[in-house]
Structure 1
């Protein structure tokens, strides 16, 4: 913190440098505020850097490029049906109104750029008002070399999601790499990727072509540095200082250095939620081992503790306190733990089933990862289902891979040696090695083989929604893109656990992201967004990117309100109970002097 003196003052201080916090900091900087961004770990990016970077944003400026028929009203009706009373309708409406403005504002004034994913269905596609395309935005790839030395600040992606020692690939790249020997177009695409990565590794520890969440974080960081935002890593907030108008400062600590910082506009909490809190995790996620969590390490809930001490409160009524995904776990050679989320590459494909300790299927393998994680925990109350077992045969392993085991069926020895992958020459041998019921597994496989022939899963209706079919195999020759037989020996399995990928329960705020006290009054100068804030989705996961979308929208609202608050005499601010306060869109935009 050598660059900061004691008692320096900023207009806006943002606590947490994930996607929501960096977006909030950038909006405030665009609007002319002097901004300090504080991150407790050594990297910026949070869990966003690990993610696909998908942002669920209905009626965005890009939506019409792939779906001219969708509207914000359609999305609101969809959320009303999907979420209902699990969240405040006014909060959902604030998200839908502010989100497209936030996207347009960042794209017009920074290097943050999005595009609409051509086909990316809402997860609850069976609910009226869902869409197959237009609501899911993805960041454009970013050249990390533009950051110079600051490239090292970006949290690297999960190693198991990269290839060739740090080359990032997105879903389009994966398709080209798998088809590079079958298509000239794919061969050319793959050749460009490999050549670029080879050049990168001559001067960098990993690939500098950033995609998905790393691309979004790279674009945000580049834009923040261009705007002169002060970014501190390995720095923790130790105290919030309040006065007559609310929060007026913070105390920060970096190693043995401590600084007290004044704040004129507001403190925005975006530290990632409670998931690694030393006591709250056990209270809110009972039975979920922290070792199963694939999210970034910074979300300790310590910033939320300070807000609670200042009078804030947690929300309630959510379907679940967290969002979930099935994960598999493996010890790396360096002693660290790899936690691999099974989003879409394997479990929903033909020739894959998931069974419990009795060898029986207990869920629809093609359901969304969130509902999958919830179903595992629900089933485990009566029948041991944690871990569950993702089972396939030799053909399934070759075609789709299995967790950290890549498609192709080669290089299995290390995974078999450490027990991550379990192999059996027969189903009975596999069951014995897994410690599950042999007769139950045999019956489950026999049933799925019948369903593969008829195309109808009479047990769990697998492959009956647009979302489920999107995660099947479009090239599968059978009657159902999600159902295929299991029969070619040897047989394989990995163990699955319910991994929490982010908090759904957080601090209660109003429609401008102001943190509310126990009497529903805004705490002056204190805001929350991202997973620090009570999710407007109410613990439901209706579509891809439903954490990043609201994180951006409420980060935008918090930043604009806090920036205006810093410029406005306190007596002229809206009444503390006035939730309808919105900021004008024509606030002058200029770069902060470097």
Structure 2
């Protein structure tokens, strides 16, 4: 329960964008209330890789990695053909580095460059091989004290031993456990630290990736006395004289108004889990699978549209896509595993459609992969797709939520999650594919894969693809034959990571009305804000980069020139 019913700023949604806006506004001396309808902060960010795409950032300069706003603009122009939101992309390039520096100077957020993570289209003008991507510095969750329980846990499938997070640099060492003295020592140290942490916490407290970013933002709120109201939803915006001056909320005590003297920031996470909006804006072949946080149900869009806000629908794609597999956890809860970077680009796996044919270069970005699925599916929601590999691949790299070096494969097979067969023909029959078609696909692939080639799709021919492959496999880190029985198939589905359609905003993150003017006192960021990339996916972190940037922009604008609304609702200060 908040101590007051009036604040300078009210933020709706505790994902990266919302927490950034709240932290910045509070750092600027404003009183802030953050309203979150779930019991956790973090949103989809807490499940994500935590990558933040900010071209020409200060960390790149410090590392001696060349970049410029003009190079980044050229790259975006080559990967985002639409003119929509060109002004917002210009704002993003200008203020993104500023946002990072402000957050690191004034909050608990700490980022570091990922020096070897290429842009997704490295052949395009202005692309870089790394450095534009920033990742959160690891964070000790114990610093949150009792509030650690309020941080959304990472997906259990991305942890080890029931709650241990590992960062990118740990993974190669864990794979070399028992084969490298240095890697074995490092792995044993990680596990020992985790064991000690579990004596005082329900999961590991050494946080990485998106969980570390969410924790750092939450720590920033706690340090600046930002009140967080959990388990509360916003029913409508309060408007007087054409300006937004607060919200009507509903929580366990009932409904009541809360005044926002300067403004309201919408950051509720888009509409990934709203059935009606998905049917309205998504292609039929996209189905209903989402890898986004279940809290993203379009709440922000609905209250904004009721207040006269405009929605931007001129996008290349209505969402950001990822292939995903589905399963049921031991506790009975449904699980969705996003196949981003862990398996598709590794050597010895292919993706096939229901005709048993390859349809995509498996090492392309997850967004491009699903676009190919949607094209191949021809709007048919029943079209099936599978990842196909052999015993060697499954043991070495894992598949979906099945981790490398898993001895007990039988439980996954018994549940029907993983399909196993002694031959490719038998595997085809098991997944409902014509055996001769799948056998021809695998034989054609193998004939060239033994020499490290993929003439059909050119897999492993860009620095981005090779970055995701296995650097210890030659001659092509992305290509190897599929020939060691038994053989395996895993069904995958088109899924979204977040929505690209959202509220139209200006360069100050103010929400625009249908006539193109700013609605006084109303801001949006994160996935409630229409994507500045228009549903294109130029590189890792192109959702979190703009979320942090425009959350920062909104917080600064509220502090400097935000609309002062003298509402007469109950609780007026």
TM-score normalised by L of structure 1: 0.93
Residues in 2 aligned to 1:402 and 1:52: alpha-carbon distance in whole angstroms: 18
SS at match of 1:238: strand
Cα offset, 1:566, TM superposition = 4.4
Q: Deviations over 1:440-498 (max 9, x none)?
A: 111111111122134332221211211111111111123x2211111111101100101
- The aligned counterpart of 1:368 is 365
Match of residue 504 from structure 1:
500
Report whether the alignment pairs 1:154 with 2:151.
yes
Residue 267 of structure 2: aligned partner: 270
Instruction: Provide the rounded CA distance (Å) in 2 between the counterparts of 1:248 and 1:484.
Output: 61
Aligned to 2:37: 40
- 1:560 is aligned to 556
Of 533, 537, 541, the match for 1:537: 533
Cα deviation code 1:345-380 (max 9, x no counterpart)? 111111100011111101110110001111101101
**SS of the counterpart of 2:498?**
strand
CA contact under 8 A between 2:327 and 2:335: conserved in structure 1? yes
Report the alpha carbon displacement of residue 409 of structure 1 after superposing the two structures with TM: 4.4
CA contact (8 A) 1:265 1:564 kept: no
The 5 A counterparts of 1:470-489 are 470-478=467-475, 480-489=476-485
State the match for 1:233 in structure 2: 230
1:72 to 69, 75, 81: 69
| In structure 1, distance between residues paired with 2:398 and 2:563 | 56
State how far apart, in whole Å, the 1-side matches of 2:286 and 2:416 are.
19
In 2, Cα distance between the equivalents of 1:569 and 1:255? Answer: 28
TM-score, length basis structure 2: 0.96
- Residue 520 of structure 2 corresponds to residue 521 of structure 1: no
Q: Secondary structure at the match of 2:532?
A: coil
- Secondary structure at the counterpart of residue 362 of structure 2: coil
Question: Is the 2:261–2:564 contact (alpha carbons within 8 Å) kept by the matching residues of 1?
Answer: no
RMSD: 1.7
Asked whether the equivalents of residues 515 and 528 of structure 1 are also in contact (C-alpha less than 8 Å), the reply is yes
**Does 2:448 match 1:423?**
no
CA deviations on 1:93-142 (whole Å, 9 max, x unpaired) are 10111111111011011211000012101011121111111100000010
The 5-angstrom pairing of residues 152-301 of structure 1 reads 152-244=149-241, 246-287=243-284, 292-301=289-298
CA contact (8 A) 1:401 1:407 kept: yes
Say whether the 8 Å CA contact 2:285–2:378 is kept in structure 1: no
Call closer, same or farther: CA 1:192–1:430 in 2, change over 3 Å. Answer: same
| Alpha-carbon distance in 1 for matches of 2:563, 2:274 | 35
Instruction: Point out where structure 2 has 5 or more consecutive residues left out of the alignment.
Output: 567-573
Query: What's the offset of the Cα at 1:417?
Result: 0.8
Deviation string, structure 1 residues 24-45 (Cα, Å, up to 9, x no partner): 1101111111011111111100
Deviation at 1:539, TM superposition (A): 0.5
Partner of 1:4: 3
CA distance in 2, matches of 1:113, 1:382: 43
Runs of 5+ unmatched residues, structure 1: 571-594
Q: Given the alignment of the two structures, is residue 102 of structure 1 paired with residue 96 of structure 2, yes or no?
A: no
1:548 aligns with 2:544: yes
The aligned counterpart of 1:406 is 403
TM superposition shift of 1:245 = 5.2
Cα distance in 2 for residues equivalent to 1:511 and 1:396: 48
Question: Is 1:392 aligned to residue 389 of structure 2?
Answer: yes
Deviation at 1:157, TM superposition (A): 0.5
Partners of 2:49 and 2:110 in 1: CA distance: 15
- C-alpha change, 1:414 and 1:302, in structure 2 (3 Å) is same
Number of aligned residue pairs: 566
User: What CA distance in whole angstroms lies between the structure 2 residues aligned with 1:469 and 1:567?
Assistant: 50
Deviations 1:166-197 (CA, angstroms, capped at 9, x unpaired): 11112212111111222333223212211111
| Pair 1:318-2:315 in alignment | yes
Task: Determine if contact 1:352/1:396 at 8 Å carries over to the other structure.
Answer: yes
Counterpart contact for 2:284–2:379, Cα < 8 Å:
no
CA contact (8 A) 1:86 1:319 kept: no
Provide the rounded CA distance (Å) in 2 between the counterparts of 1:256 and 1:76.
50
Task: Give, in whole Å, the separation in 2 of the partners of 1:456 and 1:157.
Answer: 37
Alignment correspondent of 1:448 = 445
> Cα gap change, 1:245/1:313 in structure 2, threshold over 3 Å: closer, same or farther?
closer
SS at match of 2:280: helix
**Residue in structure 1 matching 2:465, options 456, 463, 468:** 468
